[in-house]
Amino acid sequence: MPNYFFIQSQDPYTDRVTDDQFLLMSQLAGEGKEVSLFLTQNGVVPAAFQAESPMFDKLLDQKIKIYADKFSLEQREIAETELKRNIESAEIHVVVQAMLAGDKVIWN
């Protein structure tokens, strides 16, 4: 059974499809699949403490490992201390490590 590793570059404020992408992640995790999520580019925006995104927030309490790209956070002046719970800032290396581990890596 593959682990699912999503790279999320889209944000829910400019791309309507994003909520459906979050729903898929939620459903996969709910079915017991191993799911990880790497937020990059504008994908880091809903990770900020003040950002409202009910579909994204639902992921925070599921068994999903969530990373936020340090580079994208810095570009948008989002400090690590401003991230919501259960989100870890990380370098882009985690994506390559997932690929090398054989995860099913999906770009959103």
Partner 1 sequence: MELGEDMNEKTTLTFAFMDPPFESERTITFFRLLDSALDHGANIHVFAYEGAVALGFNKQQAHGNGMHNRDTEEENHPLTKDWISALRNKADSLQLEFNWVNCGLCVDERGVLESVHECKRGSPADFWQCAAASINTLAIGTR
**Contact between 15 and partner 1 per CB under 8 A:** yes
DSSP for 26-74, please give it. Answer: HHHHHTT--EEEEE-GGGGGGGBTT---HHHHHHHTSSEEEEEEHHHHH
Compute the C-alpha angle 6/52/18, nearest 5°: 35
Q: Which is nearer to partner 1, 40 or 53 (CB)?
A: 40
> With binding defined as CB under 8 A, does residue 13 bind partner 1?
no
Interaction between residue 102 and partner 1 (CB under 8 A): yes
Tokens of 53: 């995104």
Minimum Å distance from CB 38 to partner 1? 10
Site for partner 1 in 39-68 (CB under 8 A): 40-42
85 binds partner 1 (CB under 8 A): no
